[in-house]
Amino acid sequence: MYEIFIKTHFSSAHFLRNYPGNCEHLHGHNWDVEVVVGGETLNEIDVAIDFRDVKRIVREIMSELDHINLNEHPAFAEVNPSSERIAEYIYRRLADGLEPFPGVMPRRVVVCETPGSGVIYSE
* E strand or H helix that includes residue 97: helix 83-97
Fold of the domain built from segment(s) 2-121: Tetrahydropterin Synthase; Chain A (3.30.479)
Closest CA to 39 of 8, 10, 84, 1: 1
pTM listed for this prediction: 0.95
Q: How much is the average pLDDT of 56-60?
A: 98
pLDDT (tens digit per residue) in 2-40:
999 999 999 999 999 999 999 999 999 999 999 999 999
Domain boundaries, the chain: 2-121
